[in-house]
Amino acid sequence: MNTRNWIVVIVFLVFLIFSAGSIFLYTRYRSDGATAVSIQTIALGPNLVSLIPPPPLPPAPSAPPPILDPGIFDPYGKNNILSIGIGDLIAKRTSNGIIVRDYQDPDEKGVFTPIPNAKDFHRLDASDGSRSPYYQAGDSIYVFTYDITSQNSFLPSLKRVTNAVNFAFIPGLTTRMAKDSTHVYIDGIPDSVINVKTLSTIPDHPSVFQDALYVYSISGGLQFYTITPFTPPLSFLSQPPQEPWGEFRGYVADKNAVYFQSKKITDADLNTFAVFTTPKLHQLKESGVIYSYAKDKNRVYYEGVVVPGADPSTFSPLTNGGAFSYYYGKDANAVYEGSTIIPGLDPNTVQILWESIYEGCANSHFIKDAKHVYYKQILLPGADAATFESLINGYGRDKNGIWQESQFRADLQKDFQPVCNYG
């Protein structure tokens, strides 16, 4: 091999070495990052980059912006966002105030409340870490309130809790109540009757509390509540489930009277009053059911209302094991829907046909005896009781065809199946 050929071979080998180095460097570039690669590329040769340029780096993923409540999606500006625990509403901190809006809306559709120290705005949690409806910015305490006269009355705005002693303020005594050294606050409104010095809560009943003289219950919506004072001792006769805002549902009795929720039942006999509690609610398939029927020696009651003509000695609630338990009742002579009699329905053969609740599906209010079918309190003339079955969305079926509520639908085939709309 002559000298010229050896020179060509040597140049070719040098090219291979640099090429291998570039491949090695490219691998390191992809795994170790651009800085290390650039340094080593320059060290090997300034012309290498122009020979085999590395591919451009993909844009680095940006870190998620800081938010006060992780998981809140806000397409219009994700900084300084706080869920206020009312539907899909959020509060956004600005330099000089708070904007309340739906999380899907831009700021312009919200309600703005100017407050000092807005960047410090934060929720006050109860001692156990649970949410409270109270917030603080600087030395001031706030709650969200509704103004029904406002153009945006569906959106709450901030209201300062007047005269609240911030260093002694204790939120979360109950779902809606707080206190400081001088006052008890309900939805941010100071109450002049409840004794803050002797105030205590009642376990498992977030809307019920007591002081040295009375037991109190909060009922009603946000900012439109009433307080019922009971004379101790207070007995929970049906141990009902709690509502979202902590308002209890069911029958209670104090020293002098019986109540359904917070409404006194006039003329109820305290000594013989009893709530129908069979079957037990925890044995039912559905949640949100309460013991709605009760009796004393003289009357039957449905949610605290007298059931006219009902016989307390033979009365019992009806159940289908689901959500409509305790919505119907019967005695020896009649069947009742709530507090209203259903004329002509036989108490000896009555059967609830209502379907259980499904998300997005309306219920079918059918009930029957051996000979008749009713939609709510309306008799379905010609319906065949022996073959009638309840469907969803207000439909039913017998051997003759399809019923929609109280109307026979001759235009529908017998095998018609209503569609459940899941929203």
Strand partners, 293: 302
For residues 74 and 155, membership in a common domain is answered with: yes
pLDDT of residue 288: 54
- State which of 19-23, 33-37, 263-267, 357-361 shows the largest mean pLDDT: 263-267
For residues 45 and 103, membership in a common domain is answered with: no
pLDDT of residue 281: 54
pLDDT band at 360 (very low <50, low <70, confident <90, very high): low
pLDDT band at 324 (very low <50, low <70, confident <90, very high): low
Q: What is the DSSP letter of 361?
A: B
Stretch 129-143: mean pLDDT: 89
Average pLDDT, the chain: 76
d(CA 114, CA 250): 42
User: Residue 199, Cβ neighbours under 10 Å: how many?
Assistant: 16
Stretch 318-331: mean pLDDT: 74
Domain end, chosen from 230, 255, 280, is at 255
Q: What is the DSSP string of 193-206?
A: SS-TTS-EE-TT-T
Residue 326 token pair: 């305790």
- State which of 11-15, 217-221, 225-229 shows the largest mean pLDDT: 225-229
Q: What is the DSSP string of 225-291?
A: EEEEEEPSP-EESS-PPBPTT--B-SEEE-SS-EEETTEE-TT--TTT-EE---S-GGGSSSSS---
* Among candidate residues 377, 378, 375, the one with its CA nearest the CA of residue 397: 375
Kindly state whether residue 167 falls inside one of the protein's structural domains.
Answer: no
For residues 119 and 153, membership in a common domain is answered with: yes
Kindly state whether residue 31 falls inside one of the protein's structural domains.
Answer: yes
For residues 149 and 233, membership in a common domain is answered with: no
For residues 153 and 71, membership in a common domain is answered with: yes
Kindly state whether residue 73 falls inside one of the protein's structural domains.
Answer: yes
User: In the predicted model, is pLDDT for residue 400 greater than 90?
Assistant: yes
- State which of 56-60, 200-204, 406-410 shows the largest mean pLDDT: 406-410
User: In the predicted model, is pLDDT for residue 406 greater than 50?
Assistant: yes
Predicted structure pTM score: 0.65
pLDDT of residue 224: 66
Express each pLDDT in 276-316 by its tens digit.
887 665 544 445 567 889 999 999 999 999 999 999 999 99
Residue 154 token pair: 């569906």
How buried is 327 (Cβ within 10 angstroms: 0-12 exposed, 13-18 middle, 19+ buried)? buried
Q: What is the DSSP letter of 393?
A: T
pLDDT of residue 350: 94
For residues 276 and 296, membership in a common domain is answered with: yes
User: In the predicted model, is pLDDT for residue 25 greater than 60?
Assistant: no
User: In the predicted model, is pLDDT for residue 119 greater than 70?
Assistant: yes
For residues 312 and 364, membership in a common domain is answered with: no
Kindly state whether residue 168 falls inside one of the protein's structural domains.
Answer: no
pLDDT band at 422 (very low <50, low <70, confident <90, very high): low
For residues 24 and 78, membership in a common domain is answered with: no
Domain end, chosen from 220, 255, 290, is at 255
User: In the predicted model, is pLDDT for residue 132 greater than 50?
Assistant: yes
pLDDT of residue 333: 96
* CA distances (Å), origin 406, targets 239, 355, 367, 383, 409: 37, 16, 12, 10, 10
Kindly state whether residue 19 falls inside one of the protein's structural domains.
Answer: yes
Domain end, chosen from 108, 127, 160, is at 160
Kindly state whether residue 59 falls inside one of the protein's structural domains.
Answer: no
User: Residue 150, Cβ neighbours under 10 Å: how many?
Assistant: 12
Stretch 154-167: mean pLDDT: 86
pLDDT of residue 319: 75
pLDDT of residue 141: 94
pLDDT of residue 22: 37
Stretch 143-157: mean pLDDT: 78
For residues 337 and 365, membership in a common domain is answered with: no
Stretch 364-388: mean pLDDT: 93
Residue 323 token pair: 């959500």
Ranges 111-115, 317-321, 330-334, 349-353: which has the least confidence: 317-321
d(CA 228, CA 234): 12
Kindly state whether residue 36 falls inside one of the protein's structural domains.
Answer: yes
AA letter at 347: P
How buried is 184 (Cβ within 10 angstroms: 0-12 exposed, 13-18 middle, 19+ buried)? buried
Stretch 218-225: mean pLDDT: 68
355 compared with 278, residue with greater pLDDT: 278
Instruction: Give the residue numbers spanning the domain of 380.
Output: 353-423
Domain count, the chain: 5
pLDDT of residue 19: 43
Express each pLDDT in 31-88 by its tens digit.
333 333 332 332 333 333 333 444 444 444 443 333 344 434 444 445 578 888 788 8
User: In the predicted model, is pLDDT for residue 334 greater than 50?
Assistant: yes
Kindly state whether residue 56 falls inside one of the protein's structural domains.
Answer: no
pLDDT of residue 304: 94
For residues 337 and 367, membership in a common domain is answered with: no
